[in-house]
Structure 1
Amino acid sequence: MTVRAEAKTQRGAVMVDVARLAGVSQKTVSRVVNGAPHVRPDVAERVHRAIVELGYRPNGAAQALARARTHTIGVLALGTPLYGPSRRVHALEHEARRLGWTLALATVPDLSAREVSRGIESLLQRNVEGLVVEVPNHVVDIDPRMLHGLPVVTSAGLIPGLPRQALVDTDQAEISAQLTAFLLDLGHTTVWHVGGPRDWDAAVKRQDGWRSALLERGRRVPPPAHGDWTAASGYRAGLRLAAQPEVTAVFAANDSMAMGLLRAFHEAGRRVPADVSVAGFDDVPDAEYQVVPLTTVAIRTEAPERRILAELLHMIEGAPAPSGAITVAQHRIVVRASTGPAPTP
């Protein structure tokens, strides 16, 4: 019988099980669990893999949870300078503090299974009572056994096999459809789109909303371009779009890419908005202060983040998980000088 099977059939996994499966000493496991320095990366990775496979949780953390409440919420986020994710984490921290809770943050440099596992494990060592997953978890295979029954709230799809979780998000598809309709109402025959990465939930929803608005009006759906949320990727897409005279309106899936578009059109001699209208999404602080101020969508982060924490705290206190996805929509289209009537032939 394997170590994993023995641990599951006889008792919960303990440190000696992890040590045996990883082929190291119990002292080494203890050093890895407690974040001690000077552990070889390959050894630490073997220990982390064994921890995940066995569903091991350090005894100290389990005893602390049994003894007393920590009133700590964990947030797993992608380490990124992007405005949208950073703003959500800030809003979560502010709301948690308002409610008398502490927020423990773990950022991951990428979406590899190893880094996500390490991020979750670091939060479990902080004895968090619930977890907010602020990464595009639909592209990450999160093992529900790692979470030891903790309640979880996500915004990018439910985690398979996790019994206590809630999905809370803004209705990004509907918001994007409204922005696309706004551009059509200005007289543009269709709207081009620069989307985010194909495997990001937010990018998929925003592209779906753009497409649905065009189809509802019976308009042509141009092939979308795809960036990586950065201004540089919007600039590259903009240079290609600027070479097509039929392009008169573009919706970019975030403001950074939209600002890259503004520069590309300027360099190509396409006037904004006389020749081409540009709109973004997020209403970043710099959007208003471009040479041509950017039309965009502003979303009140306080509303979704309050709902995220409300649902998480309800589950922490024993309430059942909500039966379906929860959408929170408090937004407005901020009209600035980057959009205008379609050019006359």
Structure 2
Amino acid sequence: MADVAARAGVSGQTVSRVVNGSPRVDPATRERVEAAMEDLGYRLHRAARALRTGRTQTIGLVATTLATVGNSRMLQAVADAAASRGYALVVVTLGGDPIDVAFERLRDQGVDGAVVLNEATASTQGATVPDDLHLVVVDAPAADRFDVVQTAHADGAAAATRHLLGLGHRTVHLLAGPSGSFSADERERGWREALASAGADVVEPLRGDWSAASGHLLGRELPADATAVFAANDQMALGLLRALAETGRRVPEDVSVVGFDDVMDAADYRPPLSTVRQDFDALGARAVDVLVSRIEAPAAPGLVTIPAELIVRESSGPAPR
């Protein structure tokens, strides 16, 4: 750092501020210091910094699996957000292990805190969380032991249901996600509340496991008089579209379909899928922002909710006459 300071013509403290991302540096000075760092091949020594600060600038991510679309997109979002804040990332998947084991593995890696994703959040409720491990949980009820960042699942599901009812459909059927999943339960709640508010019949949901295969199987069980379906994620909606095509039912002329997530390929489904957009980038960024804030300045846990937006495409249309 002394060499960098000499090359840039600044103090060592100024170099330290640049390295640590402090806003208290003039842009021109920052640029000069960064150029000197590049010229000299300066790299931050994380082990040395950890000895000095007591922090490793490393965070963890805990998930049950990375095979689902939502979890893989969240991994990318968290990784990008962590890198932008100068933090490294360690990933732990649960497999069949209790979440306490994941926490211990992260502590062995010396992480400063961790983000817990989606289905893994249910395990966190009763887990023993080490006092020195800051946690941000994505998609869970508000808690007093850790911060929570969640999508407004119920609001998004209600918007999808109202959209279909507004097109003249008598009721909306639901391909629900797995029981016990916070996001699945919240989406079901929003669907039920929208139907109740409109005075529409509530038909018992068909329950899948988030996969396109389960959407296909459930689509084969869809009642013949169903004209509108809200699928709790886009993957199940994809399987449903296949099942409807196989049984000769046109979308949206005979059955309207709305999904949830707005996965990258949703606009290229056949037909392009109406869906509720879940902002994975915003979720990941906010989760990391909150976690870094707690690591650097501990405070009482809070709740952050990210809005969900209805995206109308060609898979939803007026009720058949």
Deviation at 1:67, TM superposition (A): 6.3
Residue 308 to residue 67, structure 1, CA distance change in 2 (3 Å)? closer
Deviates more, 1:147-156 or 1:204-213: 147-156
The answer to whether structure 1 residue 279 and structure 2 residue 264 are counterparts is no
Deviations 1:133-176 (A, max 9, x none): 1143453266654523321111243697x74x111111110111
CA distance in 2, matches of 1:138, 1:99: 24
Q: Report the equivalent of 1:297.
A: 276
The answer to whether structure 1 residue 187 and structure 2 residue 168 are counterparts is yes
Say how many residue pairs are matched.
273
Q: Report the equivalent of 1:200.
A: 181
Residue 70 to residue 226, structure 1, CA distance change in 2 (3 Å)? same
Q: Report the equivalent of 1:246.
A: 225
> Is this contact kept in 2: 1:76–1:133, CA < 8 A?
yes
RMSD: 2.2
Residue 126 to residue 138, structure 1, CA distance change in 2 (3 Å)? closer
Q: Report the equivalent of 1:27.
A: none
Q: Report the equivalent of 1:172.
A: 153
When the two structures are superposed, what TM-score results if normalisation uses the length of structure 1? Answer: 0.74
Match of 2:122 among 116, 135, 139: 139
The answer to whether structure 1 residue 307 and structure 2 residue 291 are counterparts is no
1:256-271 pair list within 5 angstroms = 256-271=235-250
Q: Report the equivalent of 1:220.
A: 201
- Which runs of 5 or more residues in structure 2 are unaligned? 1-46
Match of 1:232 among 213, 217, 225: 213
Amino acid at match of 2:80: H
CA distance in 2, matches of 1:334, 1:129: 38
Q: Report the equivalent of 1:72.
A: 58
Identity %: 40
The answer to whether structure 1 residue 325 and structure 2 residue 311 are counterparts is no
Deviation at 1:293, TM superposition (A): 1.7
Deviations 1:41-92 (A, max 9, x none): xxxxxxxxxxxxxxxxxxxx9xx67864210111111223211111011101
- Which runs of 5 or more residues in structure 1 are unaligned? 1-60
Q: Report the equivalent of 2:85.
A: 99
Amino acid at match of 1:335: V
Deviations 1:301-321 (A, max 9, x none): 222222212221121122312
Deviations 1:252-295 (A, max 9, x none): 00011001100111111111111000111111122222232211
> Is this contact kept in 1: 2:137–2:147, CA < 8 A?
yes
Residue 147 to residue 262, structure 1, CA distance change in 2 (3 Å)? same
Ranked by relative contact order (alpha carbons within 8 Å, sequence separation 6 or more), the top structure is 2
Q: Report the equivalent of 1:342.
A: 319
Residue 141 to residue 76, structure 1, CA distance change in 2 (3 Å)? closer
CA distance in 2, matches of 1:210, 1:157: 18
> Is this contact kept in 2: 1:138–1:159, CA < 8 A?
no
Match of 2:191 among 199, 202, 210: 210
Residue 143 to residue 275, structure 1, CA distance change in 2 (3 Å)? closer
Q: Report the equivalent of 1:117.
A: 100
SS in 1 for 2:216: helix
